[in-house]
């Protein structure tokens, strides 16, 4: 006999588990802590993650020292302003990163709020239960959860069935059913049981749960650099070294010509030439990308998966629940010759009244929408449930036998062969099957009344989404267990590029490997244990939160809302992350061209007067030119912070079109904006007599 559980109030403090309060992620709520963190991040140990910004900080320190060593060629006021703006450049970059992290931390705090003081009823070796803090639970522990209590950790239901409110995690207040066995057995920690009870086997140690991963992800504390970020870091370090060599060699050229360049100006030149813009915003872009993923209620196990999503070539999508609604729906009735539409509707209605399946309910709903038919009292009918043996269901009512079911089963029930069906009805049955639908026959007292057309209804707007993906160069493959004929009909309606019919776990795995061997990245989603091998093999595998533990462990992403269509949004976010990083890198490198024209003529004006032809901006003085470039270099980071956090929107277009757009907006813009900006700053500095 199982021990009665302790009262609920002894277990948990019962935090509010309605939809969680929206975290304060507005700029007004974040700028103060971000400003403080900008100064904290001046610590070189923290700044080493961004090599370019570390170089800028070292140059700022060096310039500050030079301010104390007056140079007759450089007014102290100008040197001091250069030093101040170099410090601002580092602070603005730190501020951008702190702002991105602050948004994540705000979300993390709202997630942590529901887990404070959580307790659990753990089963002991002798079968009794003891109340322990949730933090003491380990993988393999079995806990009992009653209605009204919080589930203390991620796990799998091993006994019971209950409704669970997952608002604390997903924001969706409508309860979902969780039960032992099948593909809806996984539960998430910090969600509340609203009915019955469950016996749950814990599947994650403290610090490894879905909630913990979500918190770590949004905080950005444990964020590892992705391969693309590492590659870009190497590029930026390479460019910094090249420009360092260039700047160092300028002094010998000046000495050769009988002149000299002030060290302050050389330091300023180095900072303006190295890619400080992308160097300062790179971390913020990555953190903001992960934040957008979390807002989508998707947990990624690594940034690598998000980037891979941006590079995928093939999307493998389950038909049921993704491309179509989860259940077949009644879309039409076809009466047999000699039978009126009302007779068929009445027979189909009665045969479906006791059918609790989604298909049965859709038939009743469809007929009620067509006709106002009388319905018998529930006490006057005897339900005949569907069985695998008979493949029929219906009712016995007023000595009348009403049945509906598969074509062959109903024909056998009324004693007819397939060839004995009237041609008109036979043609309709064939049409339904050829269109990808499922025909059901209806009979009463051994007489065929007609056919019901059950159809997988394609979700609205899905065809347009697939068309957009096609423009981005992404192929869609529909995966279904249906026969090839049915699969082809639904695929044509949905607008997918390819079909994998009669799919088995082995077939899915083979198809993914085939695509990967051809050099393509593959993304897929799944929820069942049979999807686990394919999810593990795919470059981007997204498991459903309500699916099996095996699927969740095999995938590198988990969708908390259990919405398979979310995979399309994940791909969009991955694309945005890559495009944003590419766009700002293009802009940053293009900036250097304008700074050449601003600073080099100013530096060598007295040594090489011939370089005066390059002074296309006609800046006021060498000091003004250099200071203007430094100020612009700092301010442009501030201007681009919103773009880094929001991301560049990806429009449906080919890779060539996206590249052209990128070069036109951010390449050409990166050339033009500095010319205009530096000239305006020069005019302002001159007007204010700061140089």
Q: Which are the catalytic amino acids?
A: 318
Strands (E), 105-183: 119-123, 129-133, 142-146, 155-159, 161-165, 176-179
Rounded to whole angstroms, the Cα distance separating 233 from 236 reads: 5
Query: Length of the chain in residues, anyone?
Result: 691
Rounded to whole angstroms, the Cα distance separating 595 from 276 reads: 12
Rounded to whole angstroms, the Cα distance separating 492 from 361 reads: 27
Rounded to whole angstroms, the Cα distance separating 488 from 478 reads: 10
CA 12 vs CA 148, 152, 207, 417, 606: distances in Å: 9, 9, 19, 64, 78
DSSP per-residue string spanning 508-541 = HHHHHHHHHHTT--EEEEE-SGGGHHHHHHSSEE
CA 409 vs CA 188, 232, 335, 416, 527: distances in Å: 42, 64, 18, 10, 32
Rounded to whole angstroms, the Cα distance separating 187 from 548 reads: 9
What are the φ and ψ backbone dihedral angles of 606, each rounded to 5 degrees? -85, -30
Both structure tokens of 478: 């529909």
Q: Classify residue 594 by burial, with Cβ atoms within 10 Å: 0-12, 13-18, 19+.
A: buried
Rounded to whole angstroms, the Cα distance separating 112 from 218 reads: 12
Rounded to whole angstroms, the Cα distance separating 523 from 541 reads: 6
Rounded to whole angstroms, the Cα distance separating 435 from 264 reads: 77
381-384 β-sheet, strand order: 329-335, 447-455, 438-444, 400-406, 392-397, 381-384
Rounded to whole angstroms, the Cα distance separating 361 from 329 reads: 9
Q: Which of 512, 564, 517 is nearest to 536 (CA)?
A: 512
**DSSP β-bridge partners for residue 193:** 164
Contact 254, 607 (CB under 8 A): yes
- 652 three-state secondary structure: coil
Sequence-distant (6+) residues with CB within 8 A of 464 are: none
- 350 three-state secondary structure: helix
Rounded to whole angstroms, the Cα distance separating 476 from 495 reads: 9
Q: Which of 248, 254, 249, 271 is nearest to 63 (CA)?
A: 271
Helix (H) or strand (E) holding 557: strand 557-559
Q: Which of 646, 627, 639 is nearest to 670 (CA)?
A: 639
Sequence-distant (6+) residues with CB within 8 A of 521 are: 308, 311, 312, 313, 314, 539, 540
Contact 205, 138 (CB under 8 A): yes
- N- to C-terminal Cα distance for the chain? 88
CA 455 vs CA 138, 176, 353, 433, 659: distances in Å: 46, 25, 19, 10, 42
What are the φ and ψ backbone dihedral angles of 38, each rounded to 5 degrees? -60, -40
CA 33 vs CA 101, 278, 606: distances in Å: 10, 23, 47
What are the φ and ψ backbone dihedral angles of 374, each rounded to 5 degrees? -70, 145
Contact 194, 164 (CB under 8 A): yes
């Amino acid at each position: 006999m199982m021990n009665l559980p302790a009262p609920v109030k002894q277990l948990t403090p019962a935090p509010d588990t309605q939809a969680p309060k929206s975290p304060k992620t507005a700029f007004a709520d974040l700028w103060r802590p971000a400003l403080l963190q900008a100064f904290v991040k001046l610590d070189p140990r923290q700044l080493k993650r961004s090599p370019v910004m570390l170089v800028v900080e070292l140059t700022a320190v060096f310039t500050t020292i030079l301010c104390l060593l007056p140079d007759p060629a450089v007014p102290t006021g100008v040197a001091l302003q250069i030093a101040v703006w170099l410090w601002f450049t580092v602070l603005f970059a730190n501020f951008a990163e702190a702002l991105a992290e602050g948004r994540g931390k705000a979300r993390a705090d709202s997630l942590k709020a529901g887990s404070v003081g959580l307790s659990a009823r753990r089963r002991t070796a002798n079968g009794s239960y003891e109340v322990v803090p949730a933090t003491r639970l380990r993988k393999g522990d079995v806990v009992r959860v009653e209605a009204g209590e919080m589930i203390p950790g991620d796990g799998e239901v091993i006994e019971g069935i209950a409704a669970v409110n997952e608002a604390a995690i997903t924001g969706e207040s409508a309860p979902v059913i969780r039960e032992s066995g099948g593909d809806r057995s996984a539960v998430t920690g910090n969600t509340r049981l609203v009915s019955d009870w469950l016996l749950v086997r814990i599947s994650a140690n403290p610090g490894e749960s879905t909630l913990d991963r979500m918190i770590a992800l949004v905080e950005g504390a444990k964020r590892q650099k992705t391969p693309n970020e590492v590659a870009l870091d190497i590029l930026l370090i390479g460019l910094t070294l090249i420009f360092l060599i260039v700047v160092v060699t300028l002094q010998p050229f000046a000495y050769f010509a009988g002149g000299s360049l002030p060290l302050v100006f050389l330091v300023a030149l180095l900072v303006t030439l190295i890619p400080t813009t992308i160097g300062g915003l790179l971390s913020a872009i990555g953190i903001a990308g992960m934040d957008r993923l979390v807002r989508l209620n998707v947990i990624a196990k690594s940034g690598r998966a998000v980037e891979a999503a941006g590079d995928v070539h093939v999307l493998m999508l389950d038909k049921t629940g993704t491309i179509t609604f989860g259940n077949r729906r009644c879309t039409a009735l076809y009466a047999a010759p000699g039978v009126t539409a009302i007779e068929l509707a009445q027979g189909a209605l009665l045969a479906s009244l006791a059918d609790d399946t989604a298909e049965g309910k859709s038939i009743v709903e469809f007929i009620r929408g067509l006709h106002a038919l009388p319905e018998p009292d529930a006490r006057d009918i005897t339900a005949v449930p569907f069985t695998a043996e008979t493949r029929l269901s219906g009712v016995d009512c007023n000595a009348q036998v009403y049945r509906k079911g598969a074509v062959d089963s109903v024909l056998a029930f009324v004693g007819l062969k397939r060839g004995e069906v009237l041609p008109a009805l036979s043609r309709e049955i064939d049409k339904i099957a050829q269109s990808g639908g499922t025909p059901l026959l209806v009979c009463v007292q051994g007489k065929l009344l007609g056919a019901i057309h059950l159809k997988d209804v394609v979700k609205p707007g899905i065809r347009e989404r697939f068309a957009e993906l096609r423009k981005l160069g992404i192929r869609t493959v529909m995966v279904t267990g249906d026969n090839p004929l049915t699969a082809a009909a639904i695929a044509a309606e949905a607008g997918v590029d390819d079909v994998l019919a009669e799919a088995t776990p082995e077939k899915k795995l083979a198809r993914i490997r085939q695509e990967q061997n051809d050099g393509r990245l593959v993304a897929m989603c799944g929820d069942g244990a049979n999807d686990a091998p394919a999810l593990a093999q795919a470059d981007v595998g997204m498991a459903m939160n309500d699916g099996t533990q095996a699927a969740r462990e095999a995938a590198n992403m988990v969708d908390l809302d259990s919405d398979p269509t979310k995979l399309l949004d994940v791909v969009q976010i991955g694309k945005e992350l890559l495009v944003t990083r590419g766009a700002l890198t293009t802009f940053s490198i293009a900036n250097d061209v304008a700074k050449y024209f601003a600073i080099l003529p100013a530096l060598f004006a007295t040594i090489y007067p011939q370089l005066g032809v390059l002074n296309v901006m006609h800046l006021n003085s060498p000091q003004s030119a250099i200071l203007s470039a430094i100020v612009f270099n700092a301010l442009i980071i501030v201007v681009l912070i919103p773009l880094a956090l929001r991301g560049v929107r990806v429009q449906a277009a080919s890779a060539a079109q996206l590249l052209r757009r990128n070069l036109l907006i951010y390449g050409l813009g990166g050339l033009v904006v500095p010319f205009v900006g530096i000239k305006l700053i020069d005019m302002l500095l001159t007007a204010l007599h700061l140089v």
